[in-house]
Amino acid sequence: MDHFPTNWGRPRNDDFDAYSTYPIHSRPKDAFAEGVQHTQQPIVTGTSVLALKYKDGIMMAADNLASYGSLARFKDVQRLHPVGDFTVVGAGGDMSDFQYLQRILDDLIIEEEITAQDGHKLGPAEIHEYLSQVMYGRRSKLNPLWNSLLIGGVRDGKRFLAYVDLLGTTYTASTLATGYGAYIAQPLLRKAVEGKEDVLTEQEARKIIEDCMRVLFYRDARSLNKYQIATINASGTTITESLKLETSWGFADSIRGYGSQTQ
């Protein structure tokens, strides 16, 4: 039996309902249910990105994990993206927003090469300025891109390393980190690098990055022991294949409350 009076003997009228009974099953819960809504929180996210200056250029690293909430869902995600010949962008935060940024950056490079044809190419400073405007513009529309970005590169012998976040906040430093790395890895990077940017070799810089990635894997529940390193110098940009950290959890046996250790 149909219990809705408005259905008895005549078709439904969506424009006028004398009994206020239709459609009961789909009535909005509040006045804004059918309004324009934006992303309220990131869904699939990447964690820390690390970067530092060394004497010949910039080195950047990020693991390959994209987490669905607290689930380690995607374990082969590249979060370091080359832009042109001189720049690499590393991203933490929402991966779908990062994919959007990758697309507009690739379009920007293609458009610049095809339309300008003046012999000038976009360098890391220009890419950083562009991204800062994109991020601030989206923030001003109350629809931010939920990312923290590191932009590193070398142009005309000058090293460039800068940060921009979802609010359009920007700053530069000789060592930078996003996400949990800003709390755990940044002090280690500063201690190892600051004041030595002009003497650090590539091998020394790589060891510093590896040590920081190892600490993050031990301490960050959203990290992975599989990661990539980007190197940007006068010769161009290089992003390694996925590397695996050598780790040891033997020290945990002496931690109270872990395993058989209870006292």
Q: Is 39 an active-site residue?
A: yes
| Residue 93: strand pairing partners | 46, 147
Tokens for 79, please give them. Answer: 């979060």
Q: What is the DSSP letter of 194?
A: T
Q: Which of 6, 21, 39, 45 is catalytic?
A: 39
Question: What whole-number distance in Å separates Cα of residue 73 and Cα of residue 113?
Answer: 37
Question: What whole-number distance in Å separates Cα of residue 213 and Cα of residue 64?
Answer: 12
Q: Which of 113, 165, 120, 107 is nearest to 138 (CA)?
A: 165
Question: What whole-number distance in Å separates Cα of residue 19 and Cα of residue 16?
Answer: 9
Q: Are 161 and 184 in contact (CB under 8 A)?
A: no
Tokens for 123, please give them. Answer: 């360098």
Active-site residue set: 39
